[in-house]
Amino acid sequence: MMYRSDTRTPITPQLALRVAMLGAAALVLFGLIFFRLWYLQVLSGDVYLAEANDNRIREIKVHAPRGKILDRNGEVLVDNRTGLAVQIEPNRLPRGREDRADLYRRLGPLLRMRPERIYREIREQTEELSYTAVTLRQDVSYERVYYLQEHADEFPGVKVERVFLRRYPKGTRAAHLLGYVGEISGEQLEERENADREQGDIIGQSGIEFVYDRFLRGRNGASRIQVDANGRPKGELSEREAVPGENLRLTLDNAVQRAGEEALSRRGLPGGFVAINPKNGEVLGLGSYPTFEPKVFTQPLNQRQVDELFRQGEESPISNRAIQGLYPAGSSWKPVTAVASLEGGLIGPDSIINDPGSLDVGGISVSNAGGGAYGAISVRRALQVSSNVFFAKLGQMANSAGDGMLVQKWAHALGIGRPSGLDLPHEEPGRVPSPGWRNQLFEQGETDRPWTVGDNINLAIGQGDLLTNPLHLAVGYATIANRGRVPTPRLGLRVEEAGGRPLQEIRAEERRVPMNGQNAAAIMEGLRLASMEGGTGAGVFGGFPVQVAGKTGTAEVQGKGDQSWFVAVAPYEDPEIVIALTIERGGFGSEAAAPAAREVLEAYFNIRPQDIEESPDQGPGGPAPID
Amino acid sequence: MISKPQPRPFADEAALARTPSPLAFDWLLAIAMLGLIGASIAMMATTTVGDVEGSPHYYTVRQAAYGAGGLVLMLLLARIDYSRFRELRFGLYAVMLACITAVLLLGATTRGSQRWIELPFFTFQPSELGKVLLIVALAAFVIERSWRASELQRTARLLLVGALPAALVLLQPDLGTALVYVVITVTVLFVSGVKWTHFAALGGVSAAVAALALVAAPAVGQPVLTDYQADRLTAFVNPSDDPRGEGYQINQSLVAIGSGQKVGRGDEATQSRLDFLPERHTDFIFAAVGERYGFVGAALILSLYALLIWRGLRILTLSKNFYGSLIASGIVAMLMFQVFVNVGMNVGLAPITGIPLPLLSYGGTSMLVTCMAIGLLQSIYIQARLVQKSRDPLF
């Protein structure tokens, strides 16, 4: 019955049941698929639509060009050039460990990086900020980038971005104060002033770039593009233009800066200098030697570069000796002692103190450099010849006057040993030793003796435990030249539009200390005499067409050669510039630092060699005092 | 609708068989088929433009040509009395085996499997044609009278008839199509009235074989499925586990369908336009429809398939003879299985098996063979009308 053909097949109950089951199965399966479609498209459609858009839309950051940094005359110290950076998007890398290793192997030769280095960079950078693009190399050549873009599907997770790189047209000029830029760190992202920043943004990380970042940074734009499954761009959807950063004009004078840097590098010894305008605190020059190429920071540093920049000890090129140096000031300190003694009433401008050539107090012996004795002298003459005995006596007197803190208090009033307010990070305040400081150390067992009068005598002549730097001495001298007005040194002059239109002047607060004009005048006269016949700076500044008031300094440094100093104010009648310059192991101030400082002054006053009168090698009063 | 046929006492069956009315079709079935072919051509026109360089309408033109060819084949088969194929059962079966074997010997290898034979005009996929040949031959073997054997033996032999080509296809390897052969065989046997106990036994044996293949054999270091097959079969369970690997296709398919929402994204259909959706004109064309035309479009396509299957089941019950019913059951099984596995794969309910969506997926052989199958259904319908059996349709 069952297996007959060509006869009518009656629909047997069995066939009917089985066909019905077939139909029921179809019904159930169709129902299942309908419900699934309903769920996917109607109930979860938004989620999938968002995912589809996430698939296809890439937001490409358009970096804003950073503002330029100019010197006070508009000379470009830092500007930008464009470069192509190769980056890795970690979440788009192949999943398989082997696939990734293979990708790094193929990418390595293109970027001139070892695959292990690529792996390490990605691991280290994603540890801090996961899911952000990892920059492997900036400044990749166009040919290599074209290759990468043409073979985009062979390099999943690799993308190329146009970036602005800092360019330093003057090489090492002002390297120590410009600072460098770098990708924002996770910690920095959380800071309030970086609220408008995003991962991967470039911000100033040190120096001027850091301090004035909010003006220089500009605002990044964004370009939303559509990409296909292989990451190839398929048209732009929208764009927000980048707003370039504003230019920053510095108070720095390129000519002064160059002269200072060259003066130091010609001598080949570590040192630093600061030149400021005493009237307003504008920093005309600030430099340190040894120096470095700021452009090294536009690429990830290799170990050799790190070792070179941060090498141990005092040879490190990265440290800015002008504001971070810790040096005894030697005789360059004497005007500070003079101010304290005059203002503290220990002496008057015309008081006479006998200089017999040496002084033995409290177990220490002080004698004049060169062994001379200057007899009965006033503060002017004492400064001119740099009498150690005269100032040692003042130190001795100050130690027993009042609380014994006269010199220390006046140092502080002159801005020494405290933050100057300079717009650069990492300024070292140095150390002005005091009885309280040493006695506390002694109580803690960290030193072998308490404060004695000898310590104050050493301080009075800029020796002993005193540690300071050119910036602070420059501010101190400027205050004396200003008759008590303490300038706040600053590097920022104004913020300008790209076209040069001023947007905002940068101002700094001023401080005042009460200072008797006659006292200050007496000290200035002494400093002026020091640069004239019979003074310590006469050999250097004799015949100099601008009247210079300055003081040499030769400080003994334990275990090293003498620290050479020169601090000067010029012109004497109406000071426009204060220069403080120091050279480690330079020897006598008059032999190393003073000639170097003169080069800076020549640059500032635009003095050519023929303008300088031939001066007699020696004054009629015998050999000039040295210090 | 179909008017209830009235008995005609003087009708000469044979004479009528020779002259069927030119319009005596199951028009609903024809409409479902034409609708799907039209949708396929429309999808080719909208989603594959520019895929082939220098020939923007490459897929559209070809699919339209396959559709036209399929239509001709359907019309031809509809005019022939399918009952004649019964005598050709051995020949058809032999041709099928020969084709499938040939592809193993001279087929082109694509992505690790040999499924196609390159012909001058298109690549011919014998395993597709084999489906219809198997249905026609197997149905004939089922109603074979000469077999003198117990029912169990008969069931076993018939199973073997289906298992042989399935095994050959599996060697290509093409797991999906092999499963279609198995489903066809089981369904034809099911409709033919094989005892429940035999199916129970069959189920038991299959479970044991599956356990052996999937668990025991790999455990002793003799895997039956390649890693690639195993990955594809399991990826759909949790596609986001490995969104870059096997789960990628399923994920992209889900995103495409889901993002279509109610009425679709039209020309904004970025998943299919920007290559995120793989195989968007073949295996994942349903996802492309879902993205472009939304729930409305996808539901319309599904409704056309539902119509197709309903008409198939109806024709099964109308058939003038049991041979026709069995052929219809095989065809319904084939279409149902392919639709559910393919759409299921697109919506994340079934594993990736590479089974094309009948009439919608791009592909010459699949199109022609599906049209032939529908031609057979039309033939069964026409023959049933001609003998004027007045019988209430079950569906």
**pLDDT score at B237:** 62
Mean per-residue pLDDT over chain A, rounded: 87
Q: How far apart are CA A215 and CA A211, in angstroms?
A: 9
Query: Rounded to an integer, what distance in angstroms lies between the CA atom of residue A525 and that of residue A547?
Result: 11
pLDDT tier for residue A129 given thresholds of 50, 70 and 90: low
- Nearest by CB to residue B255, choosing from A46, A55, A227, is A55
Q: What is the pLDDT of residue B246?
A: 62
Q: What is the pLDDT of residue A6?
A: 44
Q: How far apart are CA B393 and CA B3, in angstroms?
A: 11
Read off the pLDDT band of B9 (50, 70, 90).
very low
Query: Is the pLDDT reported for residue B306 higher than 80?
Result: yes
Helix (H) or strand (E) segment spanning residue A87: strand A76-88
What is the model's pLDDT at position A188? Answer: 85
Burial of residue A385 (CB within 10 Å: 0-12, 13-18, 19+) is buried
Helix (H) or strand (E) holding A135: strand A134-137
State the pTM of this model: 0.68
Q: Identity (one letter) of the amino acid at A109? A: P
CA distance linking residue B82 with residue B331, whole number of Å: 13
Interface mutation target, options A17, A35, A39, A41, chain B, most CBs of B under 10 Å? A41
Whether A42 sits inside 8 A of B332 (CB atoms) is no
User: Which tens digit of pLDDT belongs to each residue from A394-430?
Assistant: 999 999 988 889 999 999 999 999 999 999 999 999 9
Question: Is the predicted pLDDT of residue B6 greater than 70, yes or no?
Answer: no
Residues of chain A with pLDDT > 70, as a percent, come to 94
**What is the predicted pLDDT for the residue at B36?**
96
Q: Where are the beta strands (DSSP E) in A181-282?
A: 181-183, 202-204, 221-227, 233-240, 247-250, 271-276
- Reduced to 3 states, what is the DSSP secondary structure of residue B237? coil
Kindly provide the ipTM of the predicted complex, given to two decimals: 0.87
Whether residue B143 lies within 8 A of chain A, CB to CB, comes out as yes
CA A230/CA B248 separation, integer angstroms: 13
Candidates A66, A82, A77; CA nearest to A203 is A66
Burial code (b: 16+ CB inside 10 Å, e: under 16) for B274-296 equals: bbbbbbbbbbbbbbbbbbbbbbe
Banded pLDDT at A175 (limits 50, 70, 90): very high
Q: Give the CA angle between residues A453, A456, A460 to the nearest 5°.
A: 140
3-class SS string, A18-63: HHHHHHHHHHHHHHHHHHHHHHHHHHCHHHHHHHHHHHHEEEEEEC
A304-320 pLDDT, tens digit each = 777 877 776 657 888 89
For residue B301, the SS3 value is helix
Alpha carbon separation from A300 to A5, A75, A117, A125, A201 (Å, rounded): 85, 28, 11, 12, 16
- Quick one: CA torsion of B47, B52, B58, B62, rounded to 10 degrees? -90
End-to-end CA gap in chain B: 13
Band of the pLDDT at B10, cuts 50, 70, 90?
Answer: very low
pLDDT for A79-111, tens place per residue? 999 888 888 887 778 877 888 888 889 888 888
Helical (H) or strand (E) element with B158:
helix B151-170
Q: Among candidates B42, B69, B75, which has minimal Cα distance to B364? A: B69
Cα distance between residue A303 and residue A205, in whole Å: 20
Residues of B in contact with A33 (CB under 8 A): 302, 340, 343-344, 347, 349
pLDDT band at B149 (very low <50, low <70, confident <90, very high): confident
| Residue pointed to by tokens 């009917």 | A16
Say if residues A110 and A118 touch (Cβ distance below 8 Å): no
User: A271 CB contacts (<8 Å, ≥6 apart)?
Assistant: A264, A288, A289, A321, A564, A581, A582, A583, A584, A586, A593, A596
- Per-residue pLDDT averaged across B13-18, rounded? 48
pLDDT digits (tens, 9 = 90+) for B320-356: 889 999 999 999 999 999 999 999 999 988 888 888 9
Local structure of residue B385 (DSSP, 8 states): H
Q: Which of B242, B295, B322 sits opposite A42 (nearest CB)?
A: B295
**Picking from A226-235, A521-530, B40-49, B205-214, which range would have the lowest pLDDT averaged per residue?**
A226-235
Average pLDDT over residues B41-65: 87
User: Closest Cα partner for A591 from A531, A530, A540, A534?
Assistant: A540
Which of B316, B342, B193, B392 is closest to A23 using CA atoms? B316
Locate the chain A residue with the closest alpha carbon to B335: A26
Note the Cα B377 to chain centre separation in Å.
13
Pick the more confident residue, A163 or B78: B78
Cα atoms in the 13 Å half-sphere on the side-chain side of A561: 14
**Residue A105 CB: number of other CB atoms within 10 A?**
12
Nearest to A36 among B144, B322, B349 (CB): B349
Contact between chains at B320 and A8 (C-beta distance less than 8 A): yes
Of these ranges, A581-590, B111-120, B122-131, B191-200, the one predicted with the greatest mean pLDDT is A581-590
Residue-wise pLDDT for B194-231, tens only, equals 888 888 888 888 888 877 777 776 666 666 666 666 66
CB distance A342 to A522 below 8 Å: yes
- Whether B184 and B192 have beta carbons less than 8 Å apart is answered as no
Q: Give B203 or A199, the one with higher predicted confidence.
A: B203
| Residues above pLDDT 90, as percent of chain B | 43
Question: How many residues are recorded in chain A?
Answer: 627
Place B238 in a pLDDT band, splitting at 50, 70 and 90.
low
Tell me what pLDDT residue B389 has: 45
Q: Does A237 touch chain B if contact means CB atoms closer than 8 Å?
A: no
pLDDT tier, B278 (very low <50, low <70, confident <90, very high otherwise): confident
